[in-house]
Amino acid sequence: MKCQVAITGFVMLGILAVATVFWAKGSSNVVMEGTLQRGFEHSDFYPNGHCSKKPFWWQWPNELDSDLNGGWNAIGTADSLHVTVRCNVSSVGMHGHLGGYLREIQPLEIISIGPANRCR
């Protein structure tokens, strides 16, 4: 009986380790949508607009800043943007200002931009 419990425990640890590795790795060339907020020492991207979750760091500066700023200016005085973007998502690590973000969005193409409510 003790042997069976030990084997089950090792199997569960193995499954947990594999799941952690897949969760922690990055993704490339994915389409994401969410809320983008930028300001002094922050560049927050909330996937799917879920403001209750910890945001990803939106890589800044990047090649698409002029496209993004043009869209932001066209909207007017929006505090936040709803953005659909083709991007690379980093693996889990220390990203952004003072390493305060778990992941980083590396934009490759801005697909759409619109106004959004600001996350608090």
Give residue-wise pLDDT tens across range 59-73.
988 888 888 888 888
pLDDT for position 32: 97
Q: Are strands 104-116 and 80-89 parallel, antiparallel or unpaired?
A: antiparallel
Residue 74 domain-assigned?
yes
Q: Are strands 56-58 and 104-116 parallel, antiparallel or unpaired?
A: parallel
Question: Total structural domains in the chain?
Answer: 1
The pLDDT tens digits for 72-105 are: 888 887 889 999 999 999 999 999 999 999 999 9
Supply 65's token pair: 């800043």
Q: What is the pTM of this model?
A: 0.79
Residue 107 domain-assigned?
yes
Residue 30 domain-assigned?
yes
Distance CA 43, CA 32 (A): 16
Supply the CATH number for residue 84's domain.
2.40.50
Phi-psi category of residue 98: left, alpha or beta, with phi > 0 → left and psi -120 to 50 → alpha? left
Residue 10 domain-assigned?
no
Structural domain of 52: 26-116
Higher pLDDT, 17 or 27: 27
DSSP at 20: H
